Amino acid sequence: MNDETLGYYRDQTKTFVFDTQTVDMTPLYAHFLPRLHATARILDAGCGSGRDARAFAERGFQVTAFDASPEMAAVAEAHSGVPVVVLRFQEIAWRQAFDGIWACASLLHVPTAELPDAMHRLGRALTPGGILYASFKYGHGEQIRNGRHFTDLDEGGLADLLKEVGSFVEIETWVTCDRRPGRESERWLNSVLRLEDDA
């Protein structure tokens, strides 16, 4: 996440939380959580408002969370009751610490050139056979929207990324509409990946 994007989340924390914290993500959880055992260790990577970290903790999972924005991390920790570390994807250093990683609308702030390294870091943080969920705004290339940097991906872009990274198997990929009221026309690429056992 670059400084301009961090500035957006610093200045728009309240608005972002209002827009996202109560959105029902249950249909997306259904693609991710059933692939994990009942007390799995989950990393909420780029946790935003803390909505998903709270949902996972309430379901009995062991949850760790991080966000690059100090302001968002503070809100997320208060909302979720889960400790939230201030961290960027480029700084991840965990090793085989998690059974699942949830990267909902967060990896999309990593520049295209840095995405393979971020994916390698996520892979090292997973146990063998671990599960990664990631979502990106549907499209191609890098964009600046309202003061935030986005790396958009479509199916072809995801395939290219996974080929370069080499350590994940694609379980399923699908496109959804934004779940926030009034933004249903926005499309998202969702993917569930499994870390290869010998990665």
DSSP-assigned beta bridge partners for residue 134 = 103, 191
* Residue 56, φ and ψ in degrees, nearest 5: -70, -40
> Whole-model pTM?
0.92
Look at residue 177 in the predicted model and tell me its pLDDT. 86
Q: State both tokens at 172.
A: 């399923």
Q: What CATH class has 3-195? A: alpha beta
- What per-residue string of b and e applies to 90-112 under the rule 16 or more CB within 10 Å gives b? eebebeebbbbbbbbbbbbbbee
For residue range 20-51, what is the model confidence (pLDDT) as tens digits?
767 888 999 999 999 999 999 999 999 999 99
Domain ranges of the chain: 3-195
pLDDT digits (tens, 9 = 90+) for 94-129: 999 999 999 999 999 999 999 999 999 999 999 999
Residues 6+ apart with CB under 8 A from 120: 165, 167
Tell me which residue of 138, 68, 73 sits closest to 110, measured CA to CA: 68
The enclosing H or E element of 133 equals strand 126-137
